[in-house]
Structure 1
């Protein structure tokens, strides 16, 4: 059996919640990563809530949003600094890769506007691109939404109509993203061309 035959593809779902959109001026409040197989089945999960620094700056929209979803009091009551959370995340990445023997595997970063989450993690001490299995090719649901809207503005709404919307906490964001991904997989799998090919291989 060759290395290629034993290699696996995974999706590394990411989401962060912040006090604003400015990498330099704002702070992280919450981090979540989920490693799933290509069908969206969960393999590993990391989640942390971060105590903001005393000099934290909130943008007005972020303050309103995270007061409503209770993230601000949760973060203020937490005892994890960003430095400590980054260390925990680096350990989680290393341990997960070791456990899965991921040296031959490919982890595709996934989520909504994945570049945003990756940039925030890198700015705060976790550059996921430096980990060997992590691919530079990303699955970005925002790009898929823009593509479908260019075809027909009702398509994305129809696809996501039954999926609960996020309250802007990492868990609900990733629940929504993974549910949307599974819905897209189901639609693609049942497309007449794909269904015909699958029937021929049975």
Structure 2
């Protein structure tokens, strides 16, 4: 049975114009946390940068330290503790104003940023182990935002640089050379974007050689 009902005006079908398609963008995501648990690790820093699909042209960004409501040195894995003491992140977090950089206010600001981006673009999450970052953001900020708030605003298709790097390992290449970095979100996103453009350049060169 055909259940389609056309909208008519004066007996003529009305076909309203479709809204223009939103451009596709990469949403680079990285978090720094107190550990590796997707449920219990606490957020220390959040980074998101929207770029063109080739990762080159940057549009908007959200870079913010986070002060957990309840955290002690015992919450940090010893390796993570040393890392974030060395890179200054723990000092930055402890010097922040608790209300301004606490979970509730950061969640509000991040939600406003993402809603604005999602209203303009189709957002494809990108990064290293990006599902981890999505899970930790969802779980830690759940009391302040609706469930799956991030997944609702971003496309289910993601770009994970781990796939490229594992492929490099299969070719006996070392994709992690020079990856020590500072373990701050902006630095990690810059690394991922640089690696991504390198992989794209290799694909372009391969296509040229096939012609």
User: Residue 7 of structure 2 aligns with which residue?
Assistant: none
Q: Is the 8 A contact 2:52 2:58 kept in 1?
A: yes
Secondary structure at the residue paired with 1:38?
Answer: coil
User: Residue 194 of structure 2 aligns with which residue?
Assistant: 179
User: Residue 136 of structure 1 aligns with which residue?
Assistant: 156
Secondary structure at the residue paired with 1:185?
Answer: helix
In 2, Cα distance between equivalents of 1:34 and 1:3: 29
CA RMSD of aligned residues (A): 2.3
User: Residue 126 of structure 2 aligns with which residue?
Assistant: 110
In 2, Cα distance between equivalents of 1:138 and 1:23: 18
User: Residue 93 of structure 1 aligns with which residue?
Assistant: 114
User: Residue 200 of structure 1 aligns with which residue?
Assistant: none
Where structure 2 has 5 or more consecutive residues not aligned to the other structure, the ranges are 1-16
In 2, Cα distance between equivalents of 1:43 and 1:183: 20
Instruction: Report the Cα offset of residue 83 of structure 1.
Output: 1.5
Residues 38, 45 of structure 1: alpha-carbon distance in 2 compared, 3 angstrom cutoff: same
- Could you give the per-residue CA deviations for residues 68-95 of structure 1, whole angstroms, max 9, x where no partner exists? 1000000011121012111110001112
In 2, Cα distance between equivalents of 1:108 and 1:69: 29
User: Residue 139 of structure 2 aligns with which residue?
Assistant: 123
TM-score by length of 2: 0.78
Q: Is the 8 A contact 1:52 1:76 kept in 2?
A: no
Instruction: Report the Cα offset of residue 66 of structure 1.
Output: 0.3
Determine which structure has the larger helix proportion and give its number. 1
Q: Is the 8 A contact 2:39 2:136 kept in 1?
A: no
User: Residue 172 of structure 2 aligns with which residue?
Assistant: 153
User: Residue 59 of structure 1 aligns with which residue?
Assistant: 77
In 1, Cα distance between equivalents of 2:67 and 2:21: 41
**Aligned positions, number:** 183
